[in-house]
């Protein structure tokens, strides 16, 4: 589960507080803080016995834009929840003054790196394949995701299904990406512009791979700054990237600029993941536990269904 933060020095709300929207008059009980960032704070709340996530900020424009985009995506993605479902948009009077919030589906999920630590790195291609499917749907709508990073992905452990949260960086193609994170931003690395286009998300996804497989690289870069040739050099000699070099080289030399090309490069890695999981399970001869294998299988089936859905469009 995404860790609940208790360290925010001056949060909008306290646990147990009742928040009432000024216009719609809906009442939400604050259960705890799910996360916070540059644009606001996200709380788990309860309303009429149901759990939701409430995002609050002093920036009215940001909140209403995110709400608009999520609402728009909700309507187009039949059977594929591109973003959290959206329920309410309102203003609230807080101790800090007037604030703005929207209420969305609470995505019950584990952080990407926690999930991979538990299940093993061979799950990485399966999760990325799911991400490709979401991105393709979003791109079809004419939007770039923009702020693609591990912190904006949550995995439903039971089903092995990945969900995206924080659509604050979603930008129409052709404009400048409005919200990004240095590590995933190709302009920061000096590898292209910050123009919202398909290849911007593809680059961010390649940086996500590096972060997931070699988390210490990001920490090192924090000390030395954006040296892309150094990152490439370390990947070429790192055995953890043995299967990934073809894909990463494709992004580096511009052969892979679309999600479709990235998905194609991922396919053999997914096949290998399934084999790894099979072997892992077969080794457990005395105490067989098929849950992981079932999870992997269900995720693969899910991706296949999504792909068929896209191809049928």
Ligand X SMILES: Nc1ncnc2c1ncn2[C@@H]1O[C@H](COP(=O)(O)OP(=O)(O)OP(=O)(O)O)[C@@H](O)[C@H]1O
* Contact of 126 with 300, CB cutoff 8 Å: yes
| Tokens found for residue 262 | 């990235």
Q: Which residues are annotated as a binding site for ATP?
A: 55
Q: How far apart are CA 175 and CA 188, in angstroms?
A: 17
CB of 71 to ligand X, least distance (A): 14
Count of alpha carbons within 13 angstroms of residue 258, beta-carbon side? 7
- Residue 39 sits in the site that holds ligand X (CB under 6 A): yes
Q: Is 289 a catalytic residue?
A: no
Q: Does 13 bind ligand X (CB under 6 A)?
A: no
Segment near ligand X (CB under 6 A); pick from 32-40, 234-242, 288-296, 300-308? 32-40
168 lines the binding site for ligand X (CB under 6 A):
yes
Give the integer Cα–Cα distance in Å for 21 and 83: 23
Instruction: Put residue 4 in one of left, alpha, beta given phi > 0 → left and psi -120 to 50 → alpha.
Output: beta
Q: How far is the CB of 305 from ligand X (least distance, A)?
A: 23
Nearer to ligand X, 152 or 217 (CB): 152
- Non-local (6+) Cβ contacts of 282 within 8 A are none
Give the shortest CB-162-to-ligand X separation in angstroms: 13
Q: Please report whether residue 182 would count as binding ligand X according to CB under 6 A.
A: no
CB 152 within 8 A of CB 163: no
Q: In this chain, which of 151, 238, 243, 292 binds ligand X, going by CB under 6 A?
A: 151
Residues noted as catalytic: 147
Binding site for ligand X (CB under 6 A): 2, 34-40, 42, 53, 55, 84, 104-107, 147, 151-152, 165-166, 168
């Amino acid at each position: 589960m995404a860790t609940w933060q208790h360290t925010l020095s001056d949060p909008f709300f306290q646990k147990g507080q009742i928040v009432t929207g000024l216009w719609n008059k809906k009442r939400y009980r604050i259960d705890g803080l799910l996360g916070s960032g540059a644009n606001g704070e996200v709380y788990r709340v309860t309303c009429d016995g149901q759990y939701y996530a409430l995002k609050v900020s002093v920036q009215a424009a940001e909140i209403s834009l995110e709400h608009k985009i999520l609402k728009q995506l909700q309507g187009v993605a039949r059977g594929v929840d591109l973003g959290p479902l959206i329920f309410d948009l309102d203003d609230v009077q807080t101790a800090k003054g007037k604030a703005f919030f929207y209420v969305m589906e609470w995505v019950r999920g584990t952080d990407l790196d926690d999930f991979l630590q538990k299940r093993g790195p061979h799950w990485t291609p399966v999760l990325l394949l799911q991400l490709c499917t979401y991105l393709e749907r979003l791109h079809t709508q004419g939007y770039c995701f923009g702020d693609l990073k591990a912190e904006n992905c949550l995995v439903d452990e039971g089903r092995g299904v990945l969900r995206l949260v924080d659509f604050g960086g979603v930008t129409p193609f052709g404009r400048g990406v409005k919200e990004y994170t240095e590590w995933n931003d190709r302009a920061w690395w000096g590898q292209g512009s910050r123009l919202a286009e398909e290849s911007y998300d593809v680059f961010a996804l390649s940086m996500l791979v590096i972060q997931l497989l070699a988390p210490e690289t990001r920490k090192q870069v924090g000390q030395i700054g954006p040296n892309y040739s150094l990152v490439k050099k370390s990947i070429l000699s790192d055995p953890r990237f043995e299967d990934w070099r073809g894909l990463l080289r494709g992004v580096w030399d511009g052969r892979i600029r679309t999600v479709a090309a990235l998905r194609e490069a991922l396919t053999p890695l997914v096949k290998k993941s399934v084999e790894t999981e099979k072997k892992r399970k077969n080794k457990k001869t005395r105490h067989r536990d098929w849950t992981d294998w079932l999870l992997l299988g269900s995720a693969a089936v899910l991706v296949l269904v999504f792909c068929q859905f896209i191809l049928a469009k």
